[in-house]
Structure 1
Amino acid sequence: MKAQTMKALTFKRYGKSPEIGIADVPLPTLKADELLVQVHAASVNPIDNMITTGMFKPVLHFQLPATLGSDLAGVVTKVGSNVTRFKPGDAIFANIFDLGTGAIAEFAVVPEHLAALKPANLDFVQAASIPMVGLTSWQALRERATLRAGQKVFIPAGSGGIGTFAIQLAKHLGAKVGTTTSTGNVELVLSLGADEVVDYKRQAFEKVLRGYDAVLGTVRGDAIEKSLGIVKPGGAIVSLVGPLDAAFARARQLNFVLRFVFGLMSRKIMRLAKKRDISYSFLFTRPDGTQLGEIGKLLEADRIRPVIDQVFPFEQAQDALAYLAQGHAKGKVVIQLC
């Protein structure tokens, strides 16, 4: 009997020519605790472009060729024998990051504990835009920075995928929010709830902002070091862009060499942060269906709204990645499959 196949966005190798394209791949097989989901929409995230370069090869393990993407929304078509919370026909959304499988495909397998029911007031495109940015913001602001009402948090690049969600979550938690954006996006970030907005084309944020309790590091380069100057003693910097640290290597049970290398990479920022009594940590988002369910409630209550820049059809999935790589998206970039 011929194996069933489906179409998926795959890459064949790491490096400068990863050969990204839509290919026929085997239909995934279902384990007892998994759902088979017909993917209606999938969103792309900056890490999708980083994975193909090989930057995360020591940390994330794929069997090549591999399917790209980790955010999806779709309909359950089949459930494993141990699944109790979902049934065929349920509309769900999920993040399957770090599982070695991908979301930009006609079908995806989702472990039951990583799925949540799609918020009823969102369509599939809107729901697919949420999981990675929602979970990242939740884990950074609530868990790591333990952000509380009345505190101040700096979320740079406020008009980007993470920024548009994190600003709204921080406001929901009762915090005051500072952000950076370009002139054309000032109105957008203000509409999301930002209190202090620095137009980075006109001013340097480190010269304007003061007295912050937490920083969400979303911008590469020297922005993390510069942000030390705006944080109060006892504050926290949670970085999504590095440098990676030894705690991250330990949490992922990486070998001694990688622990040592990541320790070296973060040595300077750790030293500078310690001098000012500020904690620094690198955050790698983990999929979590329970947290996604909580985020879903905020979306259903209109406490947070999805911000979508552009929707690409599945045949143009590669263009979606290229567009995201330009770094100008206002909110999320989503691929619609059906």
Structure 2
Amino acid sequence: MAALMQAVQIDEFGGPDVLQLRRLPVPSPGEGEVIVMVMAAGVGPWDAWIRAGKSVLPQPLPLTPGSDIAGVVVKVGRGVMEVTEGDEIFGVTNRRFTDGYAQYAKARVDMIAAKPSSMTFEEAASVPVIAVTAWQMLREFASVKAGQRVLVLGGFGNVGGYAVQLAKLAGAHVVATASEAHADHVRSLGAVEIIERRMSGVDAYSASFDAVIDTVGGEALERSYPLVRPGGIVVSAVQKPDTTKLPPGVSSDFLLVNVDTGILNKLGRLATDGQLKTRLGEALSLADARRAHEMLDGAAHKPGKIVLIP
């Protein structure tokens, strides 16, 4: 009989109540894959989209949600040379962003990296998707350089907090939106100026930014368009910018994150050097997956990334 593990599974798309804690067979690795004993699994908005049936990718049922993981490699598949059994890793499971809410998870070896020794497993599981999203928006899409002016929409959020830090590390002059209650925290991450999160007073910033990094969408995104100077760019991780409303000479992009070992290694080094701060939120048991998703859907919780402990 195959070894069994605890995992969260859904048979149908819907609200948090569709999440079921079950005993499932421990997976086996395929070529280029490893099996990880999961010490912590991150919970993010994309998990809720998948649970609700709103994923942009096909998601055959039944499925186990979750993609961000940190843990210990217990088995390697064919062709895997990069890691060995016993290695501590962090990263993402697969390109469908599933299978992470479990005691053991199968992960692609090109989507994981060595866990920074400076991080706990819980901290490491909070990093991959949100930090890589911020990295790619700034470095690969906007190509932010020293001396440029960058506006981060949603500086207090999980992705936004990393975007503020990474923009500062790139040498940019960072402005971010945040509420008055959260302004000091966002300044501590590297924002030089704070714009009220409802974008009051933004007319004074007309055509003054080289890049807008959007993590909130909606009205804030639309009101940011006139703030970008010709030759600048608007990059969103939430929705496609409306190109018909952009000023002449301003480009735009919509990010679909692509987590890989190389970026994870760079982020890990920054964290180890003390240049990148993580922010851990609620840490819940695997059995509390429904509660975690209720928090994603709006229930009260402390700021930071939610993680599950199998």
Q: TM-score, normalised by structure 1?
A: 0.86
| Matching residue within 148, 155, 159 for 1:158 | 155
For residues 236 and 316 of structure 1, the distance between their equivalents in structure 2, rounded to whole angstroms, comes to 41
Shift of 1:83: 1.1
Q: Does 1:7 align with 2:6?
A: yes
The answer on 1:313 being equivalent to 2:293 is: no
Q: What's the counterpart of residue 127 of structure 1?
A: 124
**Higher mean displacement: 139-148 or 91-100:** 91-100
Alignment CA distance shift 1:153-1:100 (3 Å): closer
Q: 1:298, 1:304 within 8 Å by CA — same for their partners in 2?
A: yes
User: Which residue of the partner structure matches residue 252 of structure 1?
Assistant: none
More displaced stretch, 144-153 vs 10-19: 10-19
**Cα distance change, pair 113–17 in 1 and its aligned pair in 2 (3 A):** closer
Q: 1:25 to 1:205 in 2, by over 3 A?
A: farther
Q: Which residue of 2 aligns with 1:109?
A: 106
Gaps of 5+ in 2: none
Offset of residue 153 of structure 1: 1.3
**Residue 314 of structure 1: how far off its partner (Å):** 1.9
Does the CA contact (< 8 Å) of 2:35 and 2:74 recur in 1?
yes
Q: Which secondary structure state, in structure 1, belongs to the residue aligned with residue 18 of structure 2?
A: coil
Distance 1:325 1:188 in 2: 24
1:169 alignment partner in structure 2: 166
Give the Å deviation of 1:71: 0.5
RMSD: 1.9
Residue 203 (structure 2) aligns with: 207
Aligned to 1:34: 33
Residue in structure 1 matched with residue 295 of structure 2 by the alignment: 323
Residue 272 of structure 1 corresponds to: 245
The secondary structure found in structure 2 opposite 1:66 is coil
- Residue 332 in structure 1 maps to residue 300 in structure 2: no
Is the 1:41–1:128 contact (alpha carbons within 8 Å) kept by the matching residues of 2? yes
**1:10 & 1:153 partners in 2: Cα distance?**
41
Shift of 1:73: 0.4
Would you say the 8 A contact 2:3–2:26 is kept in 1? yes
* 1:51 match: 50
Q: Which runs of 5+ in 1 are unaligned?
A: 244-265
* Percent identical residues: 35
TM-score between the two structures when normalised by the length of structure 2: 0.93
Indicate if the aligned counterparts of 1:40 and 1:73 stay in contact, CA closer than 8 A: yes
Query: Which of 254, 259, 263 is residue 287 of structure 1 equivalent to?
Result: 259
Q: State the SS of the aligned residue for 2:110.
A: helix
Could you tell me how far 1:80 is from its partner in structure 2?
A: 1.3
Q: CA deviation at 1:17?
A: 7.1
SS in 2 for 1:85: coil
Letter in 1 for 2:237: L
SS at match of 2:168: helix
Partner-residue secondary structure (3-state), 1:165: helix
* Secondary structure, counterpart of 1:147 in structure 2: coil
- Amino acid in structure 2 at the alignment position of 1:272: K
Q: Distance in 1 between matches of 2:27 and 2:136?
A: 29
| Aligned residues of 2:16 and 2:293 also touching (Cα < 8 A) | no
Q: Are 1:18 and 1:53, in contact at CA under 8 Å, matched by a contact in 2?
A: no
Give the letter for the 1:132 counterpart.
Answer: V
Q: Which moved more, 1:119-128 or 1:12-21?
A: 12-21
Whether 1:179 and 2:151 are equivalent positions in the alignment is: no
| Contact 1:73–1:125 (8 Å) recurs in 2 | yes
Asked whether the 8 Å contact 1:160–1:332 carries over to 2, the reply is no
For 1:63, the aligned partner's letter is P
Q: How has the CA–CA distance of structure 1 residues 144 and 205 changed in structure 2, closer, same or farther, with 3 Å as cutoff?
A: farther
